[in-house]
Amino acid sequence: MASERSAPPPAGRSAAATKTVPPAADVSPFAMGLLLRQAHEQVAEAMDEVLRPFGIERRHLMVLMRLDADGPLSQRDLVVLTRHDKASMVRIVDDLERLGLASREAVVGDRRLRAVTLTDEGRRVFADAHRAATPAADSALQPLTAGEIAQLRGLLRRLTSR
């Protein structure tokens, strides 16, 4: 009886890490979470590669995305919108300030409150990273049709809107 042989795993990954987890027939309560995590890790690895030349990480990107979409926000608002904890948000905003991508500015009418604002450089880096990420995202979703991608986005939005 011939045994099936598979290609060696990608560099830096064990054979166990490259197997599909869980099997497609697994309907255990853990299967969905494991599949979502595996899909996340595949897309995240692609995004990490794209972001590296810009000197930012996914944790920075989430804040840049919110600031680009919503304009200046307090750190408190960023904590809620990104689901980061307060200490992590302080570190992320500190990083963005150090990189010249965001600044903390006084809020008119409340001298205790600071709004995090994208700098011109932050807007440029975000736009450039966004353009660079499009081919990586397309590649990560390549097995799916356009309709399946739209359906997946809709389902994930429903799951995460609670």
Alpha-carbon separation of residue 137 from 22, 42, 141 (angstroms)? 23, 10, 6
Supply the pLDDT for residue 118: 96
Supply the pLDDT for residue 30: 84
Q: Which two structure tokens, joined as six digits, stand for 42? A: 């595949």
Assigned domain for 122 exists: yes
Assigned domain for 16 exists: no
pTM for the model = 0.74
Assigned domain for 153 exists: no
Assigned domain for 117 exists: yes
Angle at 42 between CA 39 and CA 45, to 5 degrees: 145
- Domain count for the chain: 1
Supply the pLDDT for residue 6: 41
CB 148 within 8 A of CB 79: no
CA 52 to CA 75: how far, in whole Å? 25
HSE at residue 102, side-chain half, CA atoms within 13 A, is: 30
Amino acid identity at 102:
A
Supply the pLDDT for residue 8: 47
Supply the pLDDT for residue 2: 42
Q: Give the H/E segment covering residue 89.
A: helix 86-98
Q: What is the CATH number of the domain that holds 54?
A: 1.10.10.10
Distance of alpha carbon 2 from its chain centroid, rounded?
A: 42
Assigned domain for 93 exists: yes
Assigned domain for 149 exists: no
Enclosing domain of residue 48: 31-137
Low-confidence ranges of the chain (pLDDT < 50): 1-8, 10, 15
Assigned domain for 97 exists: yes
Assigned domain for 5 exists: no
Supply the pLDDT for residue 90: 94
